[in-house]
Amino acid sequence: MRNFWITFKKPIYALAPMAGISDSAFRQICQSFGADAVFSEMISATAIVYNSKKTLELARFDRKAERPFVAQLFGSKPEHFAYAAEFITKKIKPDGLDINFGCPVKKVARQGAGAVLMNDLKLAREIVKAVLGATNLPVSIKCRSRVGAITVLDFLKTIKDLPVAAVMIHGRSLAQGHSGEVDFTIIKQARKYFSGIILANGGVKDEASAEEMLKKTEADGLGIGRGALGRPWIFKQFSIFNFQFSNKEIFETALKHTSLAHKLKGKQGIIEMRKHLCWYVRGLDNASELRKKLIQVESLSDVKNIIKSQITNTKLQTNYKFK
Ligand SMILES: Cc1cc2nc3c(=O)[nH]c(=O)nc-3n(C[C@H](O)[C@H](O)[C@H](O)COP(=O)(O)O)c2cc1C
For the chain, domain boundaries: 4-237, 247-310
Residue nearest (by alpha carbon) to ligand 1 atom 4 = 18
Phi and psi at 255, nearest 5°, equal -70, -40
User: Ligand 1 centroid vs 104 CA: distance in angstroms?
Assistant: 9
- The mean pLDDT value of the chain amounts to 95
Res. 163 pLDDT band, cuts 50 70 90: very high
Rounded Cα distance between 19 and 250, Å, is: 24
Residue 1: what pLDDT? 67
Residue 79: what pLDDT? 98
User: Ligand 1 centroid vs 310 CA: distance in angstroms?
Assistant: 32
Give yes or no for residue 134 having a pLDDT over 70. Answer: yes
User: Ligand 1 centroid vs 308 CA: distance in angstroms?
Assistant: 32
Res. 311 pLDDT band, cuts 50 70 90: confident
Cα angle value 59/63/65 (rounded, 5°): 105
CATH number of 4-237: 3.20.20.70
Residue nearest (by alpha carbon) to ligand 1 atom 26 = 225
Give yes or no for residue 130 having a pLDDT over 50. Answer: yes
Give yes or no for residue 96 having a pLDDT over 90. Answer: yes
Neighbours of 268 (CB within 10 A): 11
Cis peptide before 232 (omega within 30 of 0): no
Work out which ligand 1 atom sits closest to the CA atom of 42: 8
Query: In the predicted model, what is the mean pLDDT of residues 63-84?
Result: 97
User: Cβ(76)–Cβ(108) under 8 Å?
Assistant: no
Cα angle value 45/21/98 (rounded, 5°): 35
What lies within 8 Å, CB to CB, of 94 at 6+ separation is 40, 59, 61, 69, 70, 71, 88, 137
List, for residues 180-219, the tens digit of each pLDDT value. 999 999 999 999 999 999 999 999 999 999 999 999 999 9
Res. 2 pLDDT band, cuts 50 70 90: confident
Q: Is 78 in the pocket of ligand 1 (CB under 6 A)?
A: no
Res. 241 pLDDT band, cuts 50 70 90: confident
Q: Which of 142, 178, 212 to mutate to test the pocket of ligand 1 (most atoms within 8 A of CB)?
A: 178
Query: In the predicted model, what is the mean pLDDT of residues 109-124?
Result: 97
Q: Is 19 in the pocket of ligand 1 (CB under 6 A)?
A: yes
Cis peptide before 68 (omega within 30 of 0): yes
Cα–Cα distances in Å, from 250 out to 13, 15, 263, 278? 21, 19, 20, 12
Rounded Cα distance between 245 and 13, Å, is: 19
Domain pair 4-237 / 247-310, same fold: no
Q: Is 203 in the pocket of ligand 1 (CB under 6 A)?
A: yes
Give yes or no for residue 320 having a pLDDT over 80. Answer: no
Work out which ligand 1 atom sits closest to the CA atom of 172: 22
> Could you say which architecture CATH assigns to the domain 247-310?
Orthogonal Bundle (1.10)
Residue 318: what pLDDT? 41
Residue 312: what pLDDT? 66
Q: Is 303 helix (H, G, I), strand (E, B) or coil?
A: helix
Residue 294: what pLDDT? 98
Residue 322: what pLDDT? 33
Give yes or no for residue 316 having a pLDDT over 90. Answer: no
* H-only helix segments in 1-142: 24-32, 45-49, 53-57, 78-91, 106-109, 121-134
